[in-house]
Structure 1
Amino acid sequence: MLRFSANLGFLWQELSLPDAIRAAKAAGFDAVECHYPYDVSATAVCEALQETKLTMLGLNTIRGNAEAGDNGLAAVPGREDEARQASEQAIDYAAATGTLNVHVMAGKASGETARAAFVANLRHACELAAKAGITILIEPLNHHDAPGYFLQTSEQALEIIAAVGAPNIKLMFDCYHLQITQGDLTRRLQKYLNSIGHIQIASVPDRREPDHGEIDYRYIFRLLEELGYDRPVGAEYRPATSTDAGLQWLKDYR
Structure 2
Amino acid sequence: MHNENHNLTRRKLLQSMAITGAGALAAMPGFSVAQNSKGDAANNGAEQRSATKIVLKGNVNHSVSRWTYGDLSIQELCKTVKSLGFNAIDLVGPEDWPVLKQHGINSSMCNGAEISLEEGFIHTELHDELESRYLKHIDLVADAGYTNLICFSGNAKGMSQEQGLLNAVNGLKRILPYAQQRGVVIFMELFNSKIDHPDYMADNSAWGIELCKRLNSKHFSLLYDIYHMQINEGDIIRTIRENYQYFGHYHTAGVPGRHEIDASQELNYPAIAKAIVDTGFTGYLAQEFIPTPKTEAGRIESLKDAIQICDV
TM bracket, shorter-chain basis: 0.7 to 0.9
Contact map agreement 1:18 1:45 (CA 8 A) in 2: no
Query: Relative to 1, partners in 2 of residues 1:252 and 1:104: Cα closer, same or farther, differing over 3 Å?
Result: closer
Task: Give distance in 2, aligned partners of 1:237 and 1:228.
Answer: 24
Aligned to 1:239: 291
Aligned to 1:183: 234
Q: Which of 213, 223, 226 is the aligned partner of 2:278?
A: 226
3-state SS of paired residue (1:57):
strand
Task: Give distance in 2, aligned partners of 1:20 and 1:96.
Answer: 23
Q: Which of 61, 71, 74 is the aligned partner of 2:118?
A: 71
Q: How does 1:243-254 map to 2 (within 5 A)?
A: 243-247=299-303, 248-251=305-308
Task: Give distance in 2, aligned partners of 1:205 and 1:86.
Answer: 35
Q: Does 1:130 align with 2:166?
A: no
Q: Does 1:20 align with 2:72?
A: no
Aligned to 1:119: 169
Task: Give distance in 1, aligned partners of 2:310 and 2:237.
Answer: 19
| Alpha-carbon distance, 1:59 to partner | 2.0
3-state SS of paired residue (2:82):
helix
Structure 1 or 2, whichever has the larger Rg, is 2
Contact map agreement 2:110 2:141 (CA 8 A) in 1: yes
Query: Relative to 1, partners in 2 of residues 1:231 and 1:164: Cα closer, same or farther, differing over 3 Å?
Result: closer
Question: How many residues are treated as equivalent by the alignment?
Answer: 243
| Alpha-carbon distance, 1:77 to partner | 2.9
Q: Does 1:151 align with 2:151?
A: no
1:27-78 C-alpha deviation (Å, 9 max, x unpaired)? 322322115x25x2xxx523x33333222111235553x6xxx623211231
* TM-score, normalising length: structure 1: 0.85
Query: Relative to 1, partners in 2 of residues 1:251 and 1:186: Cα closer, same or farther, differing over 3 Å?
Result: closer
Contact map agreement 1:63 1:107 (CA 8 A) in 2: no
Query: Relative to 1, partners in 2 of residues 1:218 and 1:133: Cα closer, same or farther, differing over 3 Å?
Result: same
3-state SS of paired residue (2:270):
helix
3-state SS of paired residue (1:234):
strand
* TM-score, normalising length: structure 2: 0.71
**Which residues of structure 1 form unaligned runs of 5+?**
none
| Alpha-carbon distance, 1:138 to partner | 1.4
Code of the residue aligned with 1:88 in structure 2: it is: L
Contact map agreement 1:6 1:29 (CA 8 A) in 2: no
Q: Does 1:201 align with 2:258?
A: no
Query: Relative to 1, partners in 2 of residues 1:202 and 1:7: Cα closer, same or farther, differing over 3 Å?
Result: same
Q: Which of 252, 259, 266 is the aligned partner of 1:214?
A: 266
Identity %: 23
Q: Does 1:105 align with 2:152?
A: yes
